[in-house]
Amino acid sequence: MKNGCPVCRNVNDLTATQCKYCGAALTPPQPPAPPAARKPRRWPLMLGGAAVVVLAIVAGVIGFSGSSTAAPAITAPTFEIATDAGTALKFNPLSFDAPANTKIQINFSNKSQGLPHNMTFQNGVDAKTAEQIAAGQTATLSFTTPGPGSYKYVCTIHPGMEGTMNVK
């Protein structure tokens, strides 16, 4: 290794204290500093801590903590079916889609002006409202849907007033 002169920038021997070219005093280079102590890696500890937190959350969610909690109640899908608000003899909507083999609820509202109506399923679905739902009144049907297919519902008071439940 060589020692560079700060005045003439010529290179001298490492042990030289005076430049052999210009006579300037040379400061011998300092020995290299010892390598810095290596910092411990913290990411494995942080990763392990995060894993513990995630496991605790998952255990709490699935009830792994040993407590006997009941599963939350699953609410049945609810559908809103109404009559036409005017004097037309129509259901609104005329059709709706429901999941197969699922308990559902239908809120049937008679929004017509002065006419009674009802809602009665056909084709093997055993669900119906009372014989007459007065104008402005509501009835609720709850039943389990059958397998996939199209199922007609009608107003037995007014022939031709019908709709379709599409089970998928």
Domains of the chain by residue range: 1-31, 78-167
CATH superfamily of domain region 78-167: Cupredoxins -  blue copper proteins (2.60.40.420)
Q: What is the pLDDT of residues 121-167, one digit of tens each?
A: 998 899 999 999 999 999 999 999 999 999 999 999 999 999 999 99
Rounded Cα distance, 128 and 95, in Å? 16
Task: Please give the full DSSP string across 42-104, using - where no structure is assigned.
Answer: -HHHHHHHHHHHHHHHHHHHHTTTS---PPPPPPPPEEEEEE-SSS---EESSEEEE-TT-EE
Residue 4, SS3 per DSSP = strand
Q: What is the pLDDT of residues 57-99, one digit of tens each?
A: 777 766 544 555 565 666 789 999 999 988 889 999 999 999 9
Give the pTM: 0.56
